[in-house]
Chains A and B, each alone.
Chain A
Amino acid sequence: MNKFLVSVILLPLFVIAQTEPVLKFENPYIFAPMKGSSTTAGYASIKNISKKDVQFSVTSASPFAAVETHQTIEKEGLMSMKKVDRFTIKANSQIDLKPGANHIMLFDANRDVKIGEQIEVKLNVNGKEMTQKFKVIPREKPVEPSHHSH
């Protein structure tokens, strides 16, 4: 009976512990896709606030047709991009997805993606689904309409 009571008391705590987020995102953003290109990229600083290593991958990000994790590396004097299945963050550590380095790559939005909107990126974090919003920001400030000869 006592064991039953202890279980009843501890079960909700166990469930809470299991569902506590293990990743904390800081400044997650996606550059608004540009005309003439079907791809864009997303970035964030991601902290693993748990005491265990965490692996995560990205699985979907509507309205984009696909989303992947990529690394940008310098290889034989060339800048090269390599798809990786997942990123690993050590316990109580952080990784920075930043321009020119690790990033998430998004492909073929099926509608206009507006500056300021939030894109829900679905992640697989240690086998569990998590959703994180990324804010869409402009790649560049608007410039005056062209008047040159082209």
Chain B
Amino acid sequence: MLMSIAAAVVIVTISLIFWLTYEPKVGGNFKMNFSGRQWSFSDDAKKLNLLYIGYAKCPDVCPLSLSFASQSFRDLTKQEIENTRLLFVSVDFKNETPEAVAIYAGQFHNSFVGLSGNQKQIDDAVNLFGASYMVEKNATSYLGYSIAHTDRIFFLDQKGYVVATLSNPRSSEAILNEIRKLQ
């Protein structure tokens, strides 16, 4: 009788601790296209991975965020650089080729990886990280559309799980601090 009560107390305690401390993991492995080749996060993961979702034809917010990230990468030590990578996912699969996206991202920093894919790959990745995008048609604009998108850097561990995020990344120092805190 006493043993049964003790076992029940242990089970309840463990359940309680699990319930109080459990945080559902966001993220994971995802597959894209890098410069015309199939690419999988799990094959190419670093200790710390930064992820930004946007599009290369974005003239303002995306290059602004990537510029700040680029500046923070230039301030990293060689060792820190080896453990860190930024992935830029373009959601504009209709208008941006994987080659163009790869070239675009690489100009901000030679370690940045520009990724594209088909709609399913892109939507799967965007949903995996709880991000979002919306194509907005505009017949009066030369481009004919723009894309509203999440403006956030996701920090991923080696398995692709989100360990931190930074909204509206407008400071290289904030990005650098986050990288150093998480490494």
Contact = CB atoms under 8 A, between A and B. Distances in A.
A and B form one complex: yes
Interface of A: 31, 34-41, 65-66, 68, 70, 72, 74-75, 77-83, 99-100, 103, 105-108, 139-141, 143-148, 150
B56 interface: yes
Interface string B93-105: 0001001111111
Contacts of A81: 58-61, 146, 148
B140 A148 contact: no
B150 A36 contact: no
Contacts of B109: 140, 143
B interface, how many residues as a size bin?
A: 35 or more
Contacts of A139: 63, 67, 107-108
B170 interface: yes
Contacts of B99: 36
B104 A36 contact: yes
B151 interface: yes
Contacts of B59: 37, 39-41, 70, 81, 103, 105-106
A79 B170 contact: no
Contacts of A77: 132, 150
In the complex, the 3 A-B pairs of residues with the closest C-beta atoms, listed nearest first: A36-B104, A80-B148, A66-B142
A143 B111 CA distance: 10
B107 A34 contact: yes
A100 B35 contact: no
Contacts of A39: 57-59, 143
Interface of B: 34-35, 56-61, 63-64, 67, 70, 74, 96, 99-111, 113-114, 132-134, 136, 138, 140-143, 146, 148-151, 168, 170
Given A35-B103, A150-B113, A68 B142 contact: yes
B100 A34 contact: no
A99 B146 contact: no
A81 B58 CA distance: 9
Contacts of A141: 74
A106 B57 CA distance: 11
Contacts of B64: 99-100
B167 to A, nearest CB: 9
Q: Which of B64, B142, B150 has the most CB of A within 10 A?
A: B142
Contacts of B151: 74, 78-79
A82 B74 CA distance: 33
B143 A36 contact: no
Contact of A80 (B108, B136, B168): B136
A78 B70 contact: no
A72 B107 contact: no
